[in-house]
Amino acid sequence: MTEEIAEMSPLAAVTSGEPSPGRKVFIKTYGCQMNVYDSSRMSDALAADGYVPTDVMDEADLVLLNTCHIREKASEKVYSALGRLRQMKRQRTSEGREFMIGVAGCVAQAEGEEISRREPSVDVVIGPQTYHRLPDALKRARKGERVVDTDYAVEDKFEHLPSISAPRGKARAVTAFLTVQEGCDKFCTFCVVPYTRGSEVSRPVAQIVAEAERLAGEGVRELTLLGQNVNAWTSAGPKGERWGLGDLLYRLAEIPGIARLRYTTSHPRDMDDRLIEAHRDLRMLMPYLHLPVQSGSDRVLKAMNRRHNAHEYIALIDRIRAARPDIALSGDFIVGFPGETEADFEATLELVRRVGYAQAYSFKYSSRPGTPGADLPDHVDEEVKSERLARLQELLLMQQNRFAASCVGKTIDLLLEKPGRNPGQLIGRSPWLQSVNVDAKTSQIGDIINVRITATGPNSLFAEVA
Ligand code: 5AD
Ligand code: SF4
C-alpha cells in the first residue's frame, strides 16, 4: 500500500454503553489506506462512546496515533511524536485536565509492551484486531491501568465495530474505502505485514454487500476495496460456491448508485482468470491496477520469496493489458535488498522499461527485525541504495510524466469529488486515479461528467467540460 499521512475527523454519532460525552479525540494516521480506513472505524467506535473528533490537537482529551511499521523510518516517527505528546501531557496534567495517549496500528501490534516501557506516558496500546475494545481500554486506563491489548481476535473485529458513516469532513464523500480482506500469508522476506496484521482473513460477502449498499445510500459513487492482499480475498458465494475477488466485483457492480470500483493492494500470484475477466467485462472496474513487483531480478525475487519471476510478471501484465487495453499500471519497488548487485538492479530498470508504469512507489530496503531478510548476508551500503533509488525514481518519474502527457487531448469520464482551489472549480478523479481540475458547480459533486483534458500540472491535470 502507498504511504501517506492523513488526519481523520469523521462525524459519526451513535450512542451506547457508559459514554464519555464531550471528550474530544484527535487521530493521526500514518501509513497505508488500511490505516486510513481503520482510523475512521476507531473514530466511529469512539463516537459511540461519546467522543467527538477534532482536527486540533490542542483541543483533544485523547490523542491516538495509528501507526505504521513497514519501514524503520515509519516506526521512528511514532517515537518522536510520542516525545512531543509526553510534554503536552505533563502540561495538561499540571492544569488538572485529562490527556490520554493511545498507540494503535502496526507498531502497537509489533512492539506491544515495549511501547509503554519506552514511553510510560502512553495510556493505551491497541492492535489492529481489537479496535472495537478501544472504549473499554480507555475506561480501564482512566482507572490507572496501563492497557496493552494486541490479541488476535480477527473474527470479532469486523462485526463489533459500529457501522461506518460516509461523510468524512466537510464535503459529502463520493469515494470510500471498504476493507474486504486483512492480513497476509505470503511472507515476503522483507516484510513485517504477516507478523503485524496476521494471516489472511476475508470478510463474508453479505457483510461487504451490506456495507457497500449503505455507502451507496449515503451518496458514495466510487468504492475502493481494501486488503493487504486484496486479490487473495475468498469467501462462499450465495450457493456455497467458492468466490474470489473477481466474483465479488461482479456482485458489487450490481449495486444501484455505485458507478466505479477499484481495489488495492494486489499480489501477482493472486491475479486469477476470473479477476482478469472482470477487468475485461466490467466498464465500472476502473482501468488502474496497483500490482507491486518489488524487483526485476529473478535472483532477488527468489530471495524475497515473491513466488514469481520477472517473466511471469510481464506475461501477466500482457494478459491484463489484452483484457483491458486502457489499463494504467502502478507498482512498488525495493532497491538494495540484501545481495542485490548492480546487474540485479539493472534488471529492475529493464523490467520498468518493459512494463511502463503510470505511477509507482519506490523504497530503499529497510531491514526489519524479525523478518528473514534481516538475517541475510551482504546488506547493501546506504550510499549504493540511495544512488540506485535516484536512478530508479528518475526513470519512474519520466514514465509518470509521459503517461500524464498522453492524457492531454483525451475525453474522459470525471467523477466530481470536492471543491477545487478556486471558487467555481471542482476537483475530480479520472479513471486512472489522477486529480483533475475543472470548472463546475458545488451542486455537481458526485456527478460523473465528460471532460477533455487540456493540460498537465505538477500533481494534477486540467480539463474543460466536453
Ligand atoms: N523495506 C523497504 N520497503 C518495504 N516495503 C515493505 N517492506 C519493506 C522494507 N522492509 C515496501 C514494499 C511494499 C510497500 C508497501 O512497502 O514495496 O509493497
Ligand atoms: Fe508484505 Fe509480501 Fe504480504 Fe505484500 S505480499 S503484505 S509485501 S508479505
311-369 pLDDT, tens digit each: 999 999 999 999 999 999 999 999 999 999 999 999 999 999 999 999 999 999 999 99
Q: Which ligand is nearest to the CA of 332?
A: 1
Task: Establish whether residue 330 lines the binding site of ligand 1, counting it when its CB lies within 6 angstroms of any ligand atom.
Answer: no
Task: Establish whether residue 332 lines the binding site of ligand 1, counting it when its CB lies within 6 angstroms of any ligand atom.
Answer: yes
Task: Establish whether residue 413 lines the binding site of ligand 1, counting it when its CB lies within 6 angstroms of any ligand atom.
Answer: no
| pLDDT of 411 strictly over 50 | yes
User: Mean per-residue pLDDT for 371-397?
Assistant: 97
pLDDT of residue 169: 44
Q: Which ligand is nearest to the CA of 232?
A: 2
Structure letter (DSSP) for residue 341:
-
| pLDDT of 11 strictly over 90 | no
User: Mean per-residue pLDDT for 413-422?
Assistant: 95
- Ligand 2 centroid distance, CA of 421 (Å): 37
pLDDT of residue 22: 84
Looking at 178-326, list the stretches that DSSP marks H as alpha helix, in order from N- to C-terminal side: 193-196, 205-217, 245-252, 273-281, 298-303, 310-323
Our CA angle for 274, 280, 285, nearest 5°, is 90
**CA–CA separation, 185 and 154 (whole Å):** 15
- Atom index in ligand 1 nearest the CA of residue 373 equals 10
Nearest CA-CA partner of 271 in 337, 350, 327: 327
Tens of pLDDT, residues 78-129: 999 999 999 999 999 999 999 999 999 999 999 999 999 999 999 999 999 8
Tell me the helix, strand and coil percentages in the chain, rounded to 5: 40, 25, 40
Helix H or strand E encompassing 391: helix 382-407
Structure letter (DSSP) for residue 358:
S
User: Mean per-residue pLDDT for 128-133?
Assistant: 88
- pTM as predicted: 0.89
- Ligand 2 centroid distance, CA of 158 (Å): 22
Q: Which residue has the higher pLDDT, 168 or 150?
A: 150
pLDDT of residue 19: 56
Name the least confident of 147-151, 156-160, 397-401.
Answer: 156-160
- Ligand 2 centroid distance, CA of 267 (Å): 8
pLDDT class of 156 with cuts at 50, 70, 90: low
User: Mean per-residue pLDDT for 393-408?
Assistant: 97
Annotate 403-415 with b (16+ C-beta within 10 A) or e (fewer).
Answer: bbeebeeeebbbb
- Atom index in ligand 1 nearest the CA of residue 2 equals 15
- The best mutation among 33, 70, 226, 229 to test binding of ligand 2, ranked by most ligand atoms within 8 Å of the C-beta, falls on 229
- Ligand 2 centroid distance, CA of 384 (Å): 24
- The best mutation among 185, 228, 302, 307 to test binding of ligand 2, ranked by most ligand atoms within 8 Å of the C-beta, falls on 228
- Ligand 2 centroid distance, CA of 227 (Å): 11
The x, y and z cell numbers of residue 83, run together, are: 516525545
**Angle formed by the axes of helices 382-407 and 342-355, to 10°?**
10
Task: Establish whether residue 195 lines the binding site of ligand 2, counting it when its CB lies within 6 angstroms of any ligand atom.
Answer: no
Q: Which ligand is nearest to the CA of 68?
A: 1
Kindly list the strands in the beta sheet with 288-290, ordered across the sheet, starting from the edge strand earlier in the chain. 288-290, 328-335, 359-364
Q: Which ligand is nearest to the CA of 291?
A: 1
Count of H helices and E strands in the chain? 14, 22
Task: Establish whether residue 231 lines the binding site of ligand 2, counting it when its CB lies within 6 angstroms of any ligand atom.
Answer: no
pLDDT of residue 8: 31
Task: Establish whether residue 106 lines the binding site of ligand 2, counting it when its CB lies within 6 angstroms of any ligand atom.
Answer: no
Three-state DSSP state, 212: helix
pLDDT of residue 244: 98
Nearest CA-CA partner of 20 in 55, 61, 58, 59: 61
The listed range with the strongest mean pLDDT (14-18, 196-200, 270-274) is: 270-274
Structure letter (DSSP) for residue 408:
T
Tens of pLDDT, residues 205-246: 999 999 999 999 999 999 999 999 999 999 999 999 999 999
Calculate what percentage of the chain has a pLDDT beyond 90. Answer: 82
Q: What is the mean pLDDT of the chain?
A: 91
Minimum CA distance residue for ligand 2 atom 1: 191
Tens of pLDDT, residues 326-337: 999 999 999 999
pLDDT of residue 153: 64
